[in-house]
Chains A and B, each alone.
Chain A
Amino acid sequence: MQQQPGPLTRSAAMSQKTTLLMAAALAGILPGQAHAAPAQASGFTQANVVIPGSIVPIDILRFGQIIQPTSAGTLTIAVASDGTVTITPAGGVTAASIGILQTGLGRGAGMFELTGTPNRQTTTTLPTSITISNGAQTMTVNNFSANTNGGGKLKLDATGHAQLLVGARLNVGANQVPGNYSGTYTITVAFQ
């Protein structure tokens, strides 16, 4: 019974401290912005014409149907800066093992529709490596590429649009268990 007042008092003190900190934070923000205001007065006009950039995923990155290889191999869907897509099997994944009839969406690069201010430069950051899974087994997808120029740059066109193509390399294990594998990857686009 005598121990209770202790924690209660402490809790009250903490909540008081939190309130004080929040007030301090608010106070900190406001003076900071007041200082910046004269310098950003012209920037305010610019802000009116900026269309917030958006990315909409359109196409899935599809490695398609591959006959189970007996030794490890890769299938690379490489996207060049000019948008050219090159599909290259290697190792245990051969031309014959990917030359089978493709069903569903087939094979191809992923595609995102970028929308923003016309003629604006964008910078895309691609993932390094992801895994795709059939629920029990996984495969690694890495070596991502896109139709961007040095440093991930892609310029929106005069109507404020651009199609961002994304490729990658699929790593298939020896005797990879048959099945449908899927996974997700995240890209970040900075609209400059």
Chain B
Amino acid sequence: MKKIVLAAALVALSSGAAHAATATGSATATIVTPIAITHASGATLDFGTFDAGTGGSVSVTQGGVGSVGGGVQFVSGNANAADAFNVTGEGTRAFNISTTSGTVSNGSATMAFTTSAPASGTLASGAASFSVGGSLTVASGQATGTYTGSYNATVVYQ
């Protein structure tokens, strides 16, 4: 009789232990600082001062070096510059850069331009900057004057 009692007690214990188990899992999420872009104060994509001649093009590298093509000639006192942007965001994240083309105008006279920028960049301690060059198309006998215009630069996290 005593043996039966012990066996019954074991049944109660072992089946109880096998019936339920608990486990603890982890849940994680990371909120990332948004990426932001600002135009560097005072910077501009400057195609410089030139004589249109029979027309052609003016190009400025991302390093700010100007060159002409076709019948266009730089004139004395010409100065070229690349544009610049500052980017802020999270840590050491990489981002993609895109820039649009645009048009500069002087009254009703216009010239079209394209832009060139690095395809991507990488933040260092949450900051980065990049430069933008471009290429301007100049018509034969392009009206003289000061032309201005704008374009957009966009950055997105990779």
Contacts and interface: CB of A to CB of B under 8 A. Distances in A.
B119 interface: no
B18 A63 contact: no
Interface string B22-64: 1111111111111100000000000000000000000000000
A68 B34 contact: yes
A11 B14 CA distance: 38
A84 B30 CA distance: 24
Main secondary structure of the interface of B (DSSP, over half): mixed
Given A50-B18, A181-B31, 18 more contacts: A36-B12, A44-B7, A51-B18, A61-B25, A67-B157, A68-B33, A110-B26, A116-B18, A130-B27, A172-B29, A172-B31, A180-B30, A181-B28, A182-B26, A184-B26, A185-B26, A187-B25, A191-B18
Contact of B23 (A57, A61, A62, A179): A57
Contacts, number: 161
Interface residues of A, number: 61
B152 interface: no
Contact of B27 (A50, A141, A190): A141
A47 B10 contact: yes
A168 B28 CA distance: 11
